[in-house]
Amino acid sequence: MGVVRVSVRASIFLIVSRILMSRRCELSGINRQIGHRVSHSNIKTKREFQPNLVNVTLASDALGQNFKFRITAAALRTVDHRGGLDQFLLKADEAELSTRAAKVRRDLKKKLAETAAA
């Protein structure tokens, strides 16, 4: 067996690309599911079901900023149903949000607390 040598630059690129391009929704936390591909003869082999991720720019009314997120189409419909990004983030559980979305949620709560106090 031969030894496969990978340069340091290539290995760093692979690690960074996996972190930046994870197949996970930033708002709902939905990620891949594992299942079986079933042949006509009922042979089962492993497969992945990937979420339907889309790149969107959502506007926060309270913060007056736009934010780019990579979310599922179902999460986009939920954001629209709840009345926008602000209402979605206020109702969302912090555990299922990405670190970026959680920071936006904290900033939003801080801004709303300031306007309520004033």
Position 118 scores a pLDDT of 75
pLDDT interval class at 98 (50, 70, 90):
very high
Position 75 scores a pLDDT of 97
Position 71 scores a pLDDT of 97
Least confident range from 1-5, 60-64, 99-103: namely 1-5
57: exposed, middle or buried (Cβ count in 10 Å: 0-12, 13-18, 19+)? exposed
72 close to 31: Cβ distance less than 8 angstroms? no
The fraction of the chain above a pLDDT of 70, given in percent, is 82
Q: What is the pLDDT of residues 12-31, one digit of tens each?
A: 655 555 555 689 999 999 99
Gyration radius from the chain CA atoms? 20
Position 19 scores a pLDDT of 54
Q: Please give the mean pLDDT across all residues of the chain.
A: 89
* Local structure of 42: helix, strand or coil: coil
Position 12 scores a pLDDT of 65
Catalogue all structural domains in the chain, each as residue range(s) with its CATH number. 8-117 (2.30.170.40)
Position 15 scores a pLDDT of 59
pLDDT above 90 for 103: yes
